């Protein structure tokens, strides 16, 4: 999002808050936000609290959001159903967790060899993605908003150095979303689990390797204590979006100004979370290398090539889905990737490669 658009969004939030002030005592709502994260987990746990606080503050208390961490009201993997059914009013999680509901939902969070954080927002706002996002979730009585992005994720933590694609055959690996399907197609035994559970599984040897987010969140969970090889690039998730989703029946009853506050608060946290992640990832990576002797390695080219072939196979399968919205969603995503990808070779990739050539970073 361009700076002027971001500032305009902030101004709109402030204006809405000013208009809401005279009626703070009227029509007050108290909502429970259930999340998939431990409380204040660096990254998603912190951002869940931020959006809850921002909506409460900007609404002048007319829409008060109280956060419940994973397990406090419902398990982290149960938040989708809890809000859909009305046990809670709003959740904070990631689309990558809802493949069992519909594989098409996974595309709104991240896509192997897919969209960066800014491109993801571009697809939703300028490529028809939001309309499909709304339609896909409406079937589950939910109104969704992207509200966070981690930036580029990493390839994962491994105990041993990788030499070729043969090294990963049969390896037990933690992943989620379409990334997990990609890893499965190249011969890995994929397991889905929470971030904290991944540490325990690595520690006990229940899994051989795994990926979660990136240096900031990963270091807080201690993966470097049990696996020293940290691989890039994370082509399974070039970015990973977080979301909030509101019970749609309640959303439809919400006054228009409170709907606007939720929408603009989501956009605001999406941008602020991205720059926070990027900054803290960079700082955490330096500490992982200097203080914990983590070995940063580039993923071997034949593994990346195998992943790329697997990703395209996944998209072909989604194009053949029996579900119309899934088919429309993957076609929309692929069309936007085809527009934005060639431009980024000249724009962002060109600029960053030139900087790296001159400065070494």
Q: Which two tokens stand for residue 64?
A: 């008060």
pLDDT of residue 1 exceeding 60: no
pTM of the model as a whole: 0.90
pLDDT of 106 over the 60 cut: yes
Contact call for residues 310 and 178 (beta carbons, < 8 A)? no
The token duo for 190 is 């994929």
User: Three-state DSSP class for 109?
Assistant: coil
Checking if the pLDDT of 61 tops 50, the result is yes
Start-end of H helices in the chain: 3-20, 44-58, 79-85, 117-126, 129-138, 177-185, 195-204, 215-221, 248-253, 256-292, 301-319, 324-346, 348-359
- Domain positions in the chain: 3-151+238-278
Q: Above 80 in pLDDT, residue 330?
A: yes
| pLDDT value for 26 | 64
pLDDT of residue 6 exceeding 70, the answer is no
Nearest to 13 by CA among 53, 42, 48, 55: 55
The answer to whether 208 touches 158, Cβ cutoff 8 Å, is yes
- pLDDT of 15 above 80: no
Let me know: does 52 contact 66? Beta carbons within 8 Å: yes
| pLDDT confidence bin for 4, thresholds 50/70/90 | very low
Report the C-alpha dihedral over residues 18, 148, 73, 68, rounded to 10 degrees: -50
Q: Which pLDDT score, from 0 to 100, does residue 7 have?
A: 37
pLDDT digits (tens, 9 = 90+) for 228-278: 999 999 999 999 999 999 999 999 999 999 999 999 999 999 999 999 999
Count of Cβ atoms closer than 10 Å to residue 359 Cβ? 7
- pLDDT tens readout for residues 122-153: 999 999 999 999 999 999 999 999 999 999 99
Q: Tell which CATH classification among 3.40.50.300, 3.40.190.170, 3.40.50.1460, 1.20.1110.10 matches the domain 3-151+238-278.
A: 3.40.190.170
pLDDT at 169 over 80: yes
Q: How many CB atoms lie within 10 A of CB 324?
A: 10
Report the alpha-carbon distance of residue 318 to residue 314 in Å, rounded: 6
Q: How far apart are CA 165 and CA 301, in angstroms?
A: 9
């Amino acid at each position: 999002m361009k700076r002027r658009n971001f500032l305009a969004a902030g101004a709109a939030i402030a204006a809405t808050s000013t208009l809401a002030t005279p009626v703070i005592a009227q029509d007050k709502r108290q909502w429970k936000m259930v999340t998939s994260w431990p409380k204040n987990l660096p990254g998603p746990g912190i951002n869940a609290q931020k959006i809850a606080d921002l909506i409460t503050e900007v609404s002048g208390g007319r829409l008060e959001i109280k956060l419940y961490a994973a397990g406090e009201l419902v398990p982290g993997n149960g938040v989708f159903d809890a809000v859909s059914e009305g046990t809670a009013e709003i959740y904070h999680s990631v689309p990558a967790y809802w493949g069992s509901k519909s594989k098409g939902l996974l595309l709104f969070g991240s896509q192997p060899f897919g969209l960066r954080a800014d491109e993801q927002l571009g697809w939703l706002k300028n490529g028809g993605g939001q309309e499909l996002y709304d339609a896909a979730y409406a079937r589950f009585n939910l109104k969704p908003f992207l509200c966070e992005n981690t930036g580029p994720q990493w390839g994962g933590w491994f105990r041993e150095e990788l030499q070729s694609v043969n090294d990963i055959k049969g390896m037990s690996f933690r992943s989620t979303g379409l990334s997990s399907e990609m890893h499965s197609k190249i011969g890995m035994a994929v397991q889905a689990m929470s971030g904290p559970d991944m540490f325990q599984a690595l520690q006990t040897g229940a899994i051989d390797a795994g990926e979660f987010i990136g240096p900031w969140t990963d270091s807080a969970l201690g993966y470097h204590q049990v696996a020293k090889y940290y691989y890039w690039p994370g082509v399974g998730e070039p970015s990973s979006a977080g979301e909030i989703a509101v019970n749609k029946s309640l959303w439809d009853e919400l006054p228009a100004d409170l709907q606007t506050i939720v929408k603009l608060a989501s956009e605001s946290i999406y941008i602020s979370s991205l720059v926070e992640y990027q900054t803290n990832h960079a700082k955490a990576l330096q500490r992982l290398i200097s203080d914990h002797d983590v070995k940063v390695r580039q993923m071997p080219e034949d593994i990346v090539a195998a992943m790329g072939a697997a990703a395209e196979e996944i998209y072909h399968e989604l194009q053949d889905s029996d579900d119309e919205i899934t088919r429309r969603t993957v076609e929309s995503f692929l069309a936007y990737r085809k527009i934005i990808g060639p431009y980024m070779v000249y724009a962002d990739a060109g600029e960053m490669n030139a900087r790296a050539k001159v400065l070494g970073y």
